[in-house]
Amino acid sequence: MRLSNRNSSSGSAAPAAMLASLIVIMVAATVYVFAANPFPSRPPAAITSVGLLVDHQYFLTLCVTGTVFILSQLGLAYAIWRFRDRGQAAHFTRGNNTMEMIWTTATIVLFLGLGLMGRKAWAQVRFTPAEANAVQVEVTTNQFVFNFRYPGPDGQFGKLDPTQVSASTGNPLGLDPKDPAGKDDIVVPTLTVPVDHQVELLIRSQDVIHNFYVRELRLQQDAVPGMVIPIHFTANQIGHYEIMCTQLCGLGHYRMRSFLDVVSEADYQNFLKQQGASQ
Ligand SMILES: [Cu+2]
């Protein structure tokens, strides 16, 4: 049989049927995995109101992209079956400008829309200033530890002098001993904050780019050398949470972590008193 003359043949439906069914099965399996959630690995519940906004935004994004995924894959399966080989000659098309315009515009609207809806969750912890009575804690990262500094009873952070940085002699931040404001500063390796009280973190790095990430806060912020980056949160659940660095910052990155303890106001005051007395 000559390939150029296939009018006598009616083509083969088998490859189209197979590919289309494979796509439908793949879509059904994907929807099943998301709907039935057979892997019990959901993230722990959020402990801030902004965290709930973030979760809502993820869910919304999943719904929108999931719908687009299902419709486009089923459309693809339909096209494979509808335009299968019936022995006809291939037919050339230059595309359809109207359709191009429609789906490009729809994509822009969806992406911009999701971005606009999510901006509040993102901007609320970064672009709005912290409350005046927020607890201020300075977070300093370096390879491969976190250090947290509280200003002490005077409410003032003491001056830092990079030339005096010496972790081995107990001055990892380089506190200047000549500055009286630094005398009562408290430096600790884990973060303790009061529940239901706004906390402002001032995030710094002494060497490379690190990151401050706490799943339960739904908060992730890079620490960039040369910058002090403020973010704030209000935790509403007493507990012990993990802080991790999510920037690949060197060989010890895997062990760069610390802990966040959210405690009652009374326990927080005790913590400050104890640490103040011991430093
Ligand atoms: Cu790091």
Whether 116 is in a domain gets the answer yes
CA 36 to chain centre: 24
Instruction: Give me the pLDDT at residue 106, please.
Output: 92
Tell me, yes or no, whether 274 and 139 share the same domain.
yes
Q: Are residues 83 and 179 in the same domain?
A: no
Q: Answer whether 0.95 is exceeded by the pTM.
A: no
- Smallest CA-to-CA distance from 173 within 204, 208, 213 is with 204
Q: Report the phi/psi class of residue 146: left, alpha or beta, with left for phi > 0 and alpha for psi in -120 to 50.
A: beta
The two three-digit tokens of residue 143, written as one number: 């390879």
Q: Report the separation in Å between the CA atom of 170 and the middle of ligand 1, taken as the mean of its atom positions.
A: 20
- Which residues is 2 bridged to in the sheet? none
Ligand 1 centroid to 10 CA: how many Å? 64
Q: Do 234 and 196 meet the contact criterion of CB atoms below 8 Å apart?
A: yes
Query: Same domain for 175 and 263?
Result: yes
Q: Indicate whether 145 belongs to any domain.
A: yes
Compute, in angstroms, the gap from residue 148 CA to the centroid of ligand 1.
15
Same domain, 160 and 101: no
Distance (Å) from CA 5 to ligand 1 centroid:
66
Of 74, 105, 124, which residue is a domain's last?
A: 124
Low-confidence ranges of the chain (pLDDT < 50): 1-2, 4-6, 8
What are 88-101's pLDDT values in tens digits?
888 888 889 999 99
Asked whether the beta carbons of 153 and 143 are under 8 A apart, the reply is no
- Output the CA 129–ligand 1 centroid distance in Å: 26
Report pLDDT for 1.
44
Whether residue 263 lies inside any domain: the answer is: yes
Whether residue 168 sits in one domain with residue 269: yes
Is residue 141 located within the same domain as residue 272?
yes
pLDDT at 276: 86
Distance 147 CA to ligand 1 centre (A): 12
CATH number at residue 245: 2.60.40.420
7 occurs within a structural domain: no
Ligand 1 (ion): which residues have CB within 5 A?
210, 245, 249, 256
At 41 the pLDDT is 67
Q: How far is the CA of 48 from the centre of ligand 1 (A)?
A: 24
Regarding whether 149 and 47 lie in a shared domain, the answer is no
Span from the CA of 94 to the centroid of ligand 1 (angstroms):
52
Q: Is 54 a domain residue?
A: yes
Please give the distance, rounded to the nearest whole angstrom, from the Cα atom of residue 242 to the centre of ligand 1: 14
Residue 153, domain member (yes or no): yes
- Are 273 and 139 in a shared domain? yes
The total of other beta-carbon atoms located within 10 Å of residue 53's CB is 19
The CA 119 to ligand 1 mean position distance, Å, reads 27
Query: Which candidate, 161, 201, 199, places its Cα nearest to that of 178?
Result: 161
Which residues make Cβ contacts (< 8 Å) with residue 260, sequence separation at least 6? 190, 191, 192, 193, 214, 217, 235, 240, 241, 242, 243
Measure Cα distances from 9 to 82, 83, 213, 220 in Å. 18, 16, 63, 62
Its domain, for residue 268, covers 135-278
State in Å: Cα 221 to ligand 1 middle. 12
Residues 245, 117: one domain? no
Which conformational region is residue 203 in: left (phi greater than 0), alpha (psi within -120 to 50 degrees), or beta?
Answer: beta
**Pair (154, 201) in one structural domain:** yes
Statement to judge: residues 168 and 116 lie in one domain:
no
How many folded domains does the chain comprise?
A: 2
Both 237 and 171 in one domain: the answer is: yes
